[in-house]
Chains A and B, each alone.
Chain A
Amino acid sequence: MKIAVLIKQVPDTQSVLKINAAENWVVEDNLVFTANESDTYALEEALLMKEALSGEVVVCTLGPERAGQVLKDALAKGADRALFLRDDTFSQLDSGGAARVFARSLKEEKFDLILLGLQADDTGDAQLGPMLAEELNLPHVTLVVHTELLDGRLKVKQELEGGWFQHIEVDLPALLTIQSGINKARYASLRGIMAMKSKEIKQLTAADLGLNSSDLMPDQTLQRLYLPPKIKETVFLEGAPEEVAAQLVEKLAHEAKVL
């Protein structure tokens, strides 16, 4: 199995976010960046498949220089090599543009399987997977929580809403987006970290991929960011833990009348 895994670097979900002066993104200076969580499950699933069936796992990211870290981490966990789509013009891409760039970089390699997380924890678009599948003319399944390789095809379990699931058979090559709960992502071993240093991280620019500015033009752009308006006026209880607990019981009993 030759498997590609797409990993996005995002601010840690515990980050305290501040909107920048231009109101078009968050202040990134003091943020801690990490691999998008559901992408780490996609990588784990690829590594498990490789261990069971042999083959190759190629990790791929698109982003600024710092994003190279997610590739190093993935190589340390056991991925074989990496593609780093690195071009300043890529910073303006929307999901459709990102799908075109990824498609161009993955097409010639003829992967059996492409895996990525169901959505990125920063923009939350949840679009790249199906869009990339369309660009590459591959069948896709989203929200996958289990995979099983059959003869030349995959049987996957897809999560539906409200506690429902569905098994789906999909022909290979295919693209899957991975939901949490499918596996437990591993940590890199010391040996893996040492081995990582000799693995290839290939950088590709827009020119390398034969992409011009019209390929990269976004159809949707972020105009303004703001803190969401509060639906309710939350009453914050403050003080020492004992006081806060007593206040809450008082409020629940006499104000909300739910005790």
Chain B
Amino acid sequence: MGKLLSFIQHQDGQVAGTSLEALKGAQELAATLNHSLAAVVFGLDTAPAELTGVRLDEILLVPAPELATYSSEYYVAAMDAILTAETPVLVAGHTYQARDWLPRLASRKGRPLISDCVGYHQDGELRWVRQIFQGKISAEMKTTPGLVIIAFQAGAFRADDLGSGSPTVRTIEVDLSDIPARVRPGERFQDTRDSVDLGRAERIISIGRGIGKEENLKLVQELADILNAELGSSRPVVDYGWLPHDRQIGSSGQTVSPKLYLAVGISGAIQHQVGMKNSGCIVAINKDPNAPIFEIADYGIVADLLEIIPRLTTALKEHQGS
């Protein structure tokens, strides 16, 4: 029986939600493949609270001081030392941190990494499912025999479904003292104090690249005023400097769950969906009928947003006046 490993990312002992979701995927996978399952935690000498009571065979703690804060070179070296010939699968959440070090680890091991994985099929052979073309198409991947590294996309599994158990805890020593510190991270910081907490907003109108030019923001602002909604945005609008960073929704911005989310000219790439797919009612207005946002929208309008928005403002005024 092989041993399946699930990597647990944490910040100062606080486990990342995406890691717990990936752990749920790992539990299912371990059952499917009839493997034992261990969670691996770097830089801590006690198990994080989130893992006690979770169905795992063991929790492996790797407390080496070099792992106390994230660094790709130490992480790759430590995991390289831990992986044994009996490990068929290493699972992690597809976070920005995972994107930074897992490819390097895969290269060192000469083995594949399936990034942004949303699930798997076991149908005679194991096939991994991931999304390509920014979520417009799903792809089934096959790997050669041996270790495979899987990074599960945020939301691919539900952390609140984690099976329960009582894992044993084991500490592993790794010696990283010979590894030169070529990459030296500083403190984490936020650019702008989040003046707008979109996480509390009940209604959000979010604009994307499809808005075309900055002048068109005025139309959306009028609609937002009538709707009593906050303005949000996808990444390009912030990159263009049309809205400040604290309006950005998605993996590099805020996570929101308003009652109403109106996505205007947003295609709905994975990175944006991560931040808004738990909204109550999702409305999407987009010219492209194949935009991934329509996969999660309750109501869809395939049209030029510049034609729809002013009329929507008018219709809402009438509704409020009636």
Contacts and interface: CB of A to CB of B under 8 A. Distances in A.
A219 B239 CA distance: 36
Q: Interface size for chain A: under 10, 10 to 19, 20 to 34, or 35 or more residues?
A: 35 or more
Contacts, number: 266
B170 interface: no
Chain B interface helix/strand/loop/mixed: mixed
B186 A161 contact: no
A130 B104 contact: yes
Contact of B188 (A164, A225, A236): A164
B288 A231 contact: no
Contacts of B295: 228, 230-232, 234
Interface stretch (A58-66, A71-79, A92-100, A109-117): A92-100
A67 to B, nearest CB: 18
A180 B299 CA distance: 30
A134 B148 CA distance: 18
A141 interface: yes
Given A142-B99, A143-B100, A252-B281, A131 B106 contact: yes
Interface string A152-194: 0000001111111111111100100001110000000000000
Interface residues of B, number: 98
A219 B142 CA distance: 8
A122 B236 contact: no
A126 B315 contact: no
B6 interface: no
30 contacts: A11-B133, A13-B267, A16-B290, A19-B137, A95-B103, A125-B115, A127-B115, A130-B99, A131-B103, A131-B106, A134-B103, A134-B104, A142-B99, A160-B97, A161-B96, A219-B112, A219-B146, A220-B144, A221-B141, A224-B139, A224-B140, A226-B140, A228-B131, A229-B138, A231-B295, A234-B294, A238-B302, A249-B319, A252-B260, A252-B281
